[in-house]
Amino acid sequence: MTGVQTCALPILEKYFNYDESAFTKKLEGLGFYVAQCAQSNYPVTKLSVTSTFYADYHREETLFPLYSSLVVETLRSQGYRVVTFENRSNGHFSFAEDVRLSRNQLLAGKVDLTGGLSEFEFKLLETSLARLALDLPTLIPGFDAAQQKETEYYEHYQQTYFILKELKRLPEEIKEPKLVFAHFLVPHPPFIFTPDGKFYWNENEVDGYLSNVEFIDSQITGVVEAIIAKSKIPPIIILMGDHGPSGVPSKDNPQLRMSILNAYYVNDAAKADLYPTITPVNSFRVVFNNYFGVDYPLLKDIAYHTGIPADFRRKNIVKNICQVTP
């Protein structure tokens, strides 16, 4: 389970004066290893998530599609089903999932068999006559763009609650082995959650970001607690950010952008191989080495503050200056 975009603890304290120790201590109390000084390998979602599932760096322009990644192919070969959720980022990834759960209950129950728009379909939409629908606010006098956005954001709000609710049910609803990918765009613009979970579109970036951090922290611990309690075989759970915030509270801060939450619920052998500065390219290397008896060497942990493949060079590496606290 990946995609929670909460910053690592030291960064939240330094830049937001926000104490997240209660959240991390609760995770540790549930049995998680929390990497205190974790960084992402890339500052953009698509590069970060794909490199995580390929357990490798982008040595070429792309590591697509995800259904042929090391993680998905390995788990499918072991009899796992792939489960994902509908959300605002459907077009980012192609898992060729067995089940996509949808709040809108398309076609059959909660299962969205349509799979959302692919990356190609999104590009086609942007460059064809279909783009007319995207340009309505500028073409139709009196068109209420703000209301349209609020309606879209409220759907995102409902989708987030749907994912939180369904994750608690999955151990009982799908009993066979499964890889579940839940991508929460929280905290992430638009900032639409109050700390207690009400819908409020907050356009103040700092206040909105912190409110959304408080909300998702309050929800995630209950979700993982339910998954652990309902699983007959101890699950593997990874809570991982794909990147940190951009422009909040200050513009173009590489340390802030690259710092992430990275927490693992794994067996003792895997936990012994984890370390405070681990980056996502090594996450599944550690897991597979300790669960499937393979011997993937760990890669050097590198954080590239660029989304341009030609710039994956030493000059764009963000040095990890985080200090591990006792």
DSSP 39: B
CA–CA distance, 140 with 49 (Å, rounded to integer): 38
CA–CA distance, 120 with 175 (Å, rounded to integer): 34
Residue 214: the pLDDT is 95
Pairing relation of β-strands 237-240 and 191-193?
Answer: unpaired
Greatest alpha-carbon pair distance for the chain in Å reads 63
Do 38 and 301 form a contact (C-beta atoms < 8 A)?
Answer: no
Structure tokens, 214: 């408080």
Residue 127: the pLDDT is 46
Residue 88: the pLDDT is 74
Residue 141: the pLDDT is 59
Give residues with Cβ within 8 angstroms of 191, minimum separation 6. Answer: 201, 202, 203, 205, 207, 208, 209, 211, 212
Under-50 pLDDT residues of the chain: 1-8, 106-109, 112-134, 136
Do 38 and 12 form a contact (C-beta atoms < 8 A)?
Answer: no
Residue 91 CA: distances (Å) to CA of 4, 8, 47, 94: 18, 27, 14, 8
Residue 249: the pLDDT is 72
CA–CA distance, 38 with 260 (Å, rounded to integer): 6
Q: What ranges make up the beta strands (E) of the chain? A: 33-34, 81-85, 99-101, 178-181, 191-193, 199-202, 237-240, 262-265
Residue 3: the pLDDT is 43
The identity of residue 244, as a single letter, is G
Question: The tokens 């609650």 sit on which residue?
Answer: 161
pTM for the model: 0.85
Residue 304: the pLDDT is 97
CA–CA distance, 147 with 96 (Å, rounded to integer): 34
CA–CA distance, 70 with 68 (Å, rounded to integer): 7
Alpha-carbon 42 to chain mean position: 13
Write the pLDDT tens digit of every residue in 125-146: 444 444 444 454 555 555 566 7
* Burial label, 235 (beta-carbon count in 10 A; 0-12, 13-18, 19+): middle
User: Is the omega angle on the peptide bond into residue 137 within 30 degrees of 0, that is, cis?
Assistant: no
Residue 283: the pLDDT is 98
| Domains of the chain listed by start with CATH number | 9-112+155-316 (3.40.720.10)
Residue 300, classed as helix, strand or coil, is: coil
